[in-house]
Amino acid sequence: MPDATGLELLAQEIGEPALGTLHFRGKGTLIVDPGSIRGVLQTLKGKGFEFLSSVHGVDYYPEEPRLGVHYELIDMDKVDRICVKLRVGTDAPNVPSVTPDWPGANHQEREVFDMFGVVFDGHPNMRRILMPEDYEGHPQRRDFPIGGEPVLFTADEAKGDAYTMDV
C-alpha cells in the first residue's frame, strides 16, 4: 500500500482530476473527478498499477452525489494496492467506461449499471447483466425496497389465505 506521503505525491502527479486522498486502515484511496477516470487509470498504469482487480458500485444515499464507483488496482511487482473512487449523482449518472483500456471491466461495469444505474459511456454492451432484460429499477440502490414475500404466520393461515399473494 502506498503510504500516506506516497499517496499525496501520487495525487499531485495526477493533478487536477484528483479531488482528494484518503489513507484508511493501511490502504490508500484517490478520489477523482468522474469525467477523467480513464486518464487517471492510465497514469496509474504507467506507475505500475497494471492490474484492475475490481470495479464496483456504492450508493451513498442520502449523501449527495449519491452513486459511487470504485476501482481497485494492484501493482503485482511491488505488491501494492490502491483504490480510485468517484461519485456521480442520479441526475447525470454518466461515467466514461474504462473497458477499452481494461477489458476486465466489461461485466463489472454492466453489473454497476444493472444494480445502481450508472451509465458507462463508451461501453460496448451497456445492458443489464444480472436482472432480466426488461426489469425496471436498480435494485441495489438504498431506496429500492428489498422486496420478498411477507411471512405467512399460522394465525394468518387460519384466516384462509392459502398464499400470501393477497397480503
Partner 1 sequence: MEIERRPAGQAPTDFRIRQLRAKDLLAGNLEGDDLQRHVEESIITTTLDKAVAWARGNAMFPATFGLACCAIEMMSIVAARVDVARFGFEAFRASPRQADLLILSGRVSIKMAPIVRRIWDQMLEPKWSIAMGACSSSMGVFNNYAIVPADKFMPVAVHVPGCPPRPEALMHGILKLRQQIVTGPDAGWRERYEAIGTEEIVMLPQTTGDARA
Partner 2 sequence: MSTTDYDHRQVEESITMAPLGRQVSENVHDELLTLNFGPHHPATHGVLRILVTLEGEVVRDLEPIIGYVHTGIEKTAEDKSYWKAIPVMERMDYLAYYFNAMAFCGAVETLAEVEVPKRAQYLRVIHMELNRIMSHLVWLGTSCLDLGAISMFWYGFRERERILDLFEQSSGQRMHTRYIQVGGVIEDIPLGFEEKLRQFIAVMPERVDQYEALLDRNEIVLQRLRHTCAVDAQTLLDLGVTGPLLRAAGVPWDLRKATPYSSYDDFDFKVPVGTIGDNYDRFAVRLKEMRQSVRIIEQAIDGLPEGPWITDDRKVALPPRHELATSMEALIHHFKLVTEGFRVPPGEVYYPIEGPRGEYGVFLRSDGSSKPARVHMRDPSFVNLQATKAMVQDSYIADLIATLAMMDPVLGGIDR
Chain residues binding partner 2 by CB under 8 A are 24-25, 27, 29, 50-54, 56-59, 70, 72, 76, 79, 81, 83, 102-108, 111, 115, 124, 128-132, 139-140, 142, 144, 146-147
Read off φ and ψ for residue 15, nearest 5 degrees: 85, -125
Longest dimension (CA), the chain: 70
Interacting span for partner 1 (CB under 8 A) from 7-15, 66-74, 80-88, 144-152: 144-152
Q: List the grid coordinates of 64.
A: 449527495
| Shortest distance (Å) from residue 24 CB to partner 1 | 30
Cis previous bond, 145, omega within 30? no
Per-residue binding letters, 89-128, with partner 1 (x by CB under 8 A): ----------------------------------------
Q: Which is nearer to partner 1, 153 or 163 (CB)?
A: 163
Q: Which is nearer to partner 1, 26 or 147 (CB)?
A: 147
Q: Which is nearer to partner 1, 24 or 163 (CB)?
A: 163
- Could you give the CA distance from residue 99 to residue 96 in angstroms, rounded to a whole number? 9
Instruction: Check residue 148 for interaction with partner 1 (CB under 8 A).
Output: yes
- Could you give the CA distance from residue 44 to residue 34 in angstroms, rounded to a whole number? 15
**Degrees (nearest 5) of the Cα angle 164, 166, 167?**
70
| Shortest distance (Å) from residue 7 CB to partner 1 | 38
| Shortest distance (Å) from residue 24 CB to partner 2 | 6
Interhelix angle for 37-46 vs 4-14, to 10°? Answer: 120
- Give 149's DSSP letter: P
